Each structure stands twice: as C-alpha cells, then as structure tokens.
Structure 1
C-alpha cells in the first residue's frame, strides 16, 4: 500500500470508521485528504479488518513520514509509483 487512501480503500469505509470511532463521512474526508492521524494507528492495526489486511504500525508510520512534506510532493510520489 502506497497511500492512506489505499489503506482506507482496502479496509473499507465502514470497518475503518468502526475501528477508529468516527462517522463514515469523516473517514471519507480522511481518504480524500490521504491522511490518517497517528492517534488512530493502534486502533486500525488491532482491528479485525486491520489484522485481516496485515496492517502494521511500520507501514502506517512510513506513510505518515512520507507525507509530512508539501502536498504536491506526496502527490508526485504517488504518481511516479
């Protein structure tokens, strides 16, 4: 997985929302922004959907570190992948 949007796609909007305790609409916003705050990482990794997907803290932190640059740099990185 190369983006938070892809993580949310693979987990599903509903399961992601259930895991982190947010409404579906808020998860759609996170997906559109290609962002998941680190405060939600543990809930995602230990969720049933996260376990089935093999989601890891390492992956989430790698994505987070990769997108701490200006948004255009993140978009360019995804386009070139």
Structure 2
C-alpha cells in the first residue's frame, strides 16, 4: 500500500540503521521491472550509509529469473551474496 499511501506502515525506510544487506537482481531482458526501475531503487537504497546495497543485471534473462531455465545461476549469485554476510 506504500505506493498508494506514502504514510502507510508498509513504507520502506531506506535510512534504517538496522537494515540488512540488499541485493537487487535484474534481468537484462526484463520488460516487467526494467533495469531503470531496479537501478532507481538501488540508488535510493544505496544512500543508506549503514547497510550494504548492491545491484546486478543477469545477462540474457527476463522477468522470470528463478523459474526459467538457468535459474541456478540466479540462485548461485544470490547465495554468494548472502554467504558474504552470514
């Protein structure tokens, strides 16, 4: 609801000091949530000086990153990111 009501309790606090690491993953051929949208979110979140924020674009991938063929590459990328922080 934060998209419709900026005072919603579901609004994301991009400055939260206790926010964990965040990885944005985009598919190069994603027309549903294109790179421009993912990158804009990344730019906003990366202003948080207390938390790691990274972004990656998966070459040749569309919106269905984890259900199309090649999903293991996407999962391996995400898992490598998570392993850096646990």
Q: Same fold (TM over 0.5)?
A: no
The structure in which a higher percent of residues are strand is: 2
Q: TM-score, normalised to structure 2's length?
A: 0.30
Q: TM-score, normalised to structure 1's length?
A: 0.31
The structure in which a higher percent of residues are helix is: 1
